[in-house]
Structure 1
């Protein structure tokens, strides 16, 4: 009985930890830089974290299943290039977006298929896709930015629905769908069982091969959504877009309580993890800390987050 009670207390404290960190960051930054708590800055922070937060949805599915995806940053860039090239060449908005999302999903399907059928570790497969997708971007653009886009494309990355930025609305919709799928569907529950014990999941009738491929498709799809939003925000297709986003997404997931060893995770934690990283970055910008030091801080956060996750798993 004491063990059960102790377990419940630990779970409660683990869940509260991320809220405590978030609250402390807000208090500290609001004291150091009062401008932090202004409505404009708060909206700016939430808008800035949408890219990492959306990619984090797909990454959460992958990590929960016990795997990893290092290609999401490059897939994000490829999606942005596809949508901007199509728009520049006269394709309609809907067709351009569907082609970009289809390309991103295809990359995810390739990752998943190679991993499950060739039995190559996901780390290696997705590292290969990272280079392949980035190489395709550089080849089809000749390393030049894509411009000459219709003004209507700005709405996705810069528009508002009332006082709320469109990217935030898109992010909220993605999280609601992701939460429902992960928590209330058979497919979502199978991701946890695969990550917890893949052999037990297979023996209990879970279609491991199919579900793993679907998980990677979801990860590619969310990276594609992020790529479209990012290219709209910049109002151009940038071949260098998305660099490092895979590490940011992994960090957001792990800070939010998703285990790198699989079988454990929650999407609301991923969002809070992305928000914490966004607040730290925003705070450093307000304090005029150079981007070079910001990279060092971000790298330390990733190492600490993964290290703490490993300690908790042992």
Structure 2
């Protein structure tokens, strides 16, 4: 007969990195059910999902970068530059359908090219990702500020806003874009050779290199996927408000995206992580923000709460790693 597994052993064997985010989200939802049942009204739930879907696109892309052992602190400034370019393009061509297509192509090309540049600098230049993305983020923001003369890019047509303000069956397009991107990235990470190589590079880059994996190429592709996620965010949010502030657009997205990835169970050391964990992490941040608003917590303190959540998630991962 098979030996019985004690409750203590079940708890010790519980994969907290993979299933912990689901438990945390369940606890948060139960708390909201007790404190604010109105939170579960359809309109409010859709609104929360819409708010987090913008950052969610970046967080999903960031998952690839962190799994391969990197990080990107330039995504907020990159989003501002990408959104600004798309608005300028649509305005220049009077918002015609071809101009919208051209704007999408230009924005996507710019964001993916930025991802390629960051990946190339970190791999071929052998510069720490933290330093590279800190520098490129400053460059992107300066370019946007100069181009807008410190002001904002504002849409002059009624065509572009349809993308970000539209909905299907009452669900905003932004939510569909986020979920479709997450599904595609999940397939790439779990069902393709590229995904397996990313895990291998993040786990042990030297071993991966000796196994004939082109580690530099894998890292560059990870940053390019993140760039595409930045493009989606910039497209959906800039078209929603039909404007891009040169100083504020995308500010703080780095913290939120990294927080969502870490909360979702992806290891900051690389080699471990999954897309649906990041999706749950994104939703957790949305629920926490909504909870803080319901409790009338000062907006100035909400950043501190997010910082504490990041630290707590990393400590849980570290503790789990030491017990294995």
TM-score normalised according to structure 1 size: 0.94
Residues 198-217 of structure 1 aligned to structure 2 (within 5 Å): 198-217=205-224
Deviation at 1:18? Answer: 1.6
Q: Which residue of 1 aligns with 2:236?
A: 229
Q: What is the CA distance between 1:312 and its match in structure 2?
A: 2.9
CA distance in 2, matches of 1:218, 1:191: 12
Give the alignment of 1:6-155 within 5 angstroms. Answer: 10-90=13-93, 92-155=99-162
1:189 counterpart residue number: 196
Tell me if the contact between 2:259 and 2:306 (Cα under 8 Å) persists in the aligned partners. Answer: no
Go from structure 1 to structure 2 and tell me whether the alpha carbon gap of 1:7 and 1:56 turns closer, same or farther (over 3 Å shift).
Answer: farther
Which one of the candidate residues 138, 157, 181 is aligned to 1:174? 181
More deviation in 82-91 or 34-43? 82-91
Distance in 1 (alpha carbons) for counterparts of 2:306 and 2:164: 24
Please give the alpha-carbon distance, in whole angstroms, between the structure 2 residues aligned to 1:243 and 1:148.
20
More off after superposition, 213-222 vs 266-275: 213-222
Deviation at 1:179, TM superposition (A): 0.7
Equivalent residues of 1:76, 1:223 under 8 A apart:
yes
Matched with 2:258 is 250
Contact 2:80 2:245 in 1 (8 A): yes
Look up the match of 1:285: 293
Question: Per-residue deviation at 1:120?
Answer: 0.6
Instruction: State the Cα distance separating 1:14 from its structure 2 match.
Output: 4.1
Contact 2:20-2:265 within 8 A present in 1 as well? no
- Contact 1:76 / 1:241 at 8 angstroms: preserved in 2? yes
Alignment coverage as a number of residue pairs: 313
**C-alpha displacement at 1:15, in angstroms?**
3.2
Q: How many angstroms apart in 1 are the aligned matches of 2:255 and 2:284?
A: 15
Three-state SS of the structure 2 residue aligned to 1:152 is coil
Q: TM-score, normalised by structure 2?
A: 0.91
For structure 2, the residue ranges without an aligned partner over 5 or more in a row are none
CA displacement, residues 38-89 of structure 1 (integer Å, 9 cap, x when unaligned): 1100000111110121101111000100111111111111111111111121
Contact 1:71-1:126 within 8 A present in 2 as well: yes
Task: Return 55-64 or 298-307, whichever deviates more.
Answer: 298-307
Alpha-carbon spacing, 1:313–1:69, altered in 2? closer, same or farther (3 Å): farther
Over the aligned positions, Cα root-mean-square deviation in angstroms equals 2.0
1:269 paired residue number:
277
| Secondary structure in 2 matching 1:151 | coil
The answer to whether the 8 A contact 1:80-1:238 is kept is no
Distance 2:11 2:32 in 1: 32
1:144 and 1:15 map into 2 onto residues whose CA distance is 43
Distance change in 2, residues 1:285/1:99 (3 Å): same
